[in-house]
Structure 1
Amino acid sequence: MYTLKLDIPQFLQEYWQKKPLVIKGAFPQFADPISADELAGLACEEEISSRIVVTKDHDWEVIQGPFEDYDRYGESHWQLLVQAVNHWYPDSQPLVEALRFLPDWRFDDLMVSFATPQGGVGPHVDNYDVFIIQGEGERRWTVGDNTPQHPRGGNANSPLVEDFTPIIDVVLEKGDMLYIPPGFPHCGETLTMAMSYSIGFRAPSQQELVSEIADYLLDNNLGQQRFTSKTEASHPGIVSQASQVGIMSLLSQLSQDPTQYQIILGKLLSQNRFELDICEGEEAYSIEDLQDAFSQGAGVSRIGGLKVLRLEHDATPRLFINGAVHELAHTPTDIIAQLSDNVCLSADEAIAMCQHEEVQHLLLQLINQGLYYLTDDEA
């Protein structure tokens, strides 16, 4: 377990998505949930997103994984980054749990980095919120103000920005945490061999929303309504202001109808950017198998990174899980809430929930899909 020393109400009111914050000693007696060797092992896997960034004179080279050998990079000026470690390494989940005072739909992933002295990724700006937790070693971080930044070297395709004037300049030691909202440029420099943990939170972009709306309408053969007008422009080559507003109102109508937008949002927000470690078994479980396992003390848990969401004031009792919709019309709302809020269920909790036939069948389906799994001990 990781205990976070943070005044959460104050943080949400004064800092969240507003300004950066350094929390020295945020995690007292912090212990790295993963070793450098274990991280390197994850970066060997084809399905896991990883990269090495090599620091050069006023430049950075990015090499995409997987990696089999690190000797050629030497003992300084490089950094290994592995995305979605929480999907593949269950022992990292307790660190994620420490920040679940923020909603799951915003959570992106836990990225873990191993950095050698002088290693870093260069000055850059993220479009999401990030909490950087320092493990072993020390890193110096500088953070600039949320002002327009210029691409490094004038290259519009570069993820890097020009150097900036810091408003924060701090050395993070084990257990320290740095919060950076979207839009604030920042840069990390490794002082000693270091492990760092970046927990990101993001919201969907307009592109992602429009794409999900289009997919939903096409998949369900909806959105057939066309614009009609009462008057037309007096010139043949002009599109009147009234027509412009009327056409675009076809989209705004979707955003005002919960029966339309709730399912779109639920599917979109429950999906992950990174591949999940789906653990589908060789043989499917039956209801009897499930009941027997629970009676013998087995609990049940989600795989790492799986999002199980419910919508407030949803038009239909249901859960959204990994982009799929699971209707639970006859299940009490408190049981639906328990399923969405709890990553693990003890045997007793699972037995109680399975008194509801819909929940029993849902758990069976999720286990057979490899999205949930039985645990040996009670959660």
Structure 2
Amino acid sequence: MPPVEIDASALPPLGMPPADFLRDYWQKRPLLIRNAFPGFVSPIEPEDLAGLACEEMALSRIVSHDRDRDHWRLRTGPFREDEFPGMPHQDWTLLVQDVDKWDADVAALLDCFDFLPRWRIDDIMVSFAAPGGSVGAHVDQYDVFLLQAQGRRRWQIDASESPSLTFRRDVELKLLQRFSPTHDWVLGPGDMLYLPPGVPHHGVAEDACLTFSVGMRAPSAAELLGDFVDTLAAEADEALRYRDPDLEPPRDPAEIDVAAMNRAVEALNMLRMNDPERLGDWFGRFITLYRSSGEVIAGENGRSRIEIEWDLQHGARLVRHPWSRMAWRKGGRGSRLYVNGHAIALPARAAARVANSRVLDGDDYAALGQAGQDCVFELYRTGHYHLQMDADGDDGGNGATWWPEDGSGQ
């Protein structure tokens, strides 16, 4: 069996070639990776996270635990700034989703996970826990990488073949009724724990700490089917209906007989999406929209295309909106770029470059060709890019959001 704990100092962040990790661990077994990020220094401080939790559009929660009564309390943000100085010294956790959308330095960590398809990565959630802070023993139905950023956190996991997955009914959180850990570790800054779906785990802060959770998008079969059926229904021809040209006098007028059920199945089969191109387009639109908690809205920017292109030739850059999700696909009828649920026909080279680049400079833009440039300008016009002039400096740093507050954001 592959080891459950390794030191990645010589080959961060996995301690092994990505192909080996995907073969031996991905969606198969947990792995504690010591020194996944040697000498790691958190790009944000607890004060930054608290400030973000006060923002109206940020998704934030505070989980508190009364140990004496084993009582759990969940509160959702936004929170007031004056709440945090009066918080207890122990047993509570602040969690903020999508911090990578608000802070460019946090988002830069995603480049270290490019051994995974980018469209599979959901967000980086950051949690601050006071000593003893926890969200309880629970299980996730998606892959997650838990990177310790500051302080120390004790992680216990149940890696047995048939863990107990019964949930408590006395708390609003989905906590496990019984938890029997098979492994117990304390993680420090730069250590990372990988957990595949379905592995029960419990994290408790040894001291005040920050933890980054890189979570995956894993739509359930029900979510896929629901959206798929909605798409089929929306695109269905009204002429496709239940038909019974072979109807015979029924033995019982009130009975739904076998022949009627066969005709119902035949009517449903007429809606099957047998065309792989249509199926690919549906999935590309779905996955770039799935679990999106923010929206891209066009701002009031009157710059013409000629002005934009001149700026790009003189040092400006187009920075993608952090809520803009992109992927691309090569099909039998040409390639497509998918942007927040929309499909755009593009040559493969241009589609790949646009989907993979959070920032486009003048050279990148020139290499796109006419169709790619047309696409990028339209995306700029609809709010998916912000023109960053050379004088603006870099697009992140110091815990600052990387999107301008000019009405063109979420």
TM-score, normalized by the shorter chain, greater than 0.5: yes
1:337 partner SS = helix
Shift in CA distance, 256/157, structure 1 to aligned 2, threshold 3 Å: farther
Q: Tell me, yes or no, if structure 1 residue 361 matches structure 2 residue 370.
A: no
CA contact (8 A) 2:150 2:189 kept: yes
Separation in structure 2 between the aligned mates of residue 37 and residue 223 of structure 1, nearest angstrom: 57
Question: What is the rounded CA distance, in whole Å, between the counterparts of 1:252 and 1:199 in structure 2?
Answer: 41
Aligned 8 A contact 2:14 2:21 in 1: no
- In structure 2, the partner of 1:254 is 272
Cα deviations by residue, 1:13-64 (Å, 9 ceiling, x for unpaired)? 0110111110000011111121111111111011110000001222321100
Give the conservation status (yes or no) of the 8 Å contact 2:277–2:331.
Answer: no
1:126–1:185 contact (8 Å) kept in structure 2: yes
1:375 maps to 388
Name the residue aligned to 1:336: 351
- Please give the alpha-carbon distance, in whole angstroms, between the structure 2 residues aligned to 1:223 and 1:299: 47
Match of 1:200 among 208, 212, 215: 215
Q: What one-letter code is carried by the residue in structure 2 that aligns with 1:166?
A: P
Q: Find the counterpart in structure 1 of residue 124 from structure 2.
A: 110
Q: How does 1:130-209 map to 2 (within 5 A)?
A: 130-145=144-159, 147=162, 149-154=164-169, 158-209=173-224
Residues 143 and 197 in structure 2, CA contact (< 8 A), matched pair in contact too: yes
CA distance in 2, matches of 1:82, 1:244: 51
User: How far apart in 2 are the matches of 1:241 and 1:200?
Assistant: 48
Letter of the 1:323 counterpart:
G
Query: What is the alpha-carbon root mean square deviation over aligned residues?
Result: 2.9
Counterpart Cα distance in 1 of 2:75 and 2:199: 25
SS at match of 2:168: helix
User: Deviations 1:143-190 (Å, cap 9, x if unpaired)?
Assistant: 113535344434597511123222221111100000111111111000
Q: CA offsets per residue over residues 58-89 of structure 1, 9 Å max, x none?
A: 23211000111213321111000000011111
Secondary structure of the structure 2 residue equivalent to 1:70: helix
Match of 2:406 in 1: none
In the alignment, residue 15 of structure 2 is paired with which amino acid?
A: L
Cα contact 1:227–1:246 (8 A) shared by 2: yes
Identical pairs, percent: 34
Tell me the TM-score normalized by structure 1: 0.88
> Does the 8 Å CA contact 1:87/1:276 hold for their aligned counterparts?
no
Q: Which runs of 5+ in 1 are unaligned?
A: none
Cα distance change, pair 231–313 in 1 and its aligned pair in 2 (3 A)? farther
Q: In the TM superposition, what are the counterparts of 1:198-237 in structure 2 within 5 Å?
A: 198-222=213-237, 225-226=240-241, 237=255
Distance 1:189 1:360, change over 3 A: same
Structure 1 residues 251, 125: CA separation in 2 closer, same or farther (over 3 Å shift)? farther
Task: Tell me whether 1:66 sits opposite 2:82 in the alignment.
Answer: no
1:287 counterpart (305, 315, 328): 305
Aligned residue-pair number: 373
Larger Rg: 2
- Give the aligned residue type for 1:289: E
Unaligned runs of 5+ in 2: 1-10, 396-410
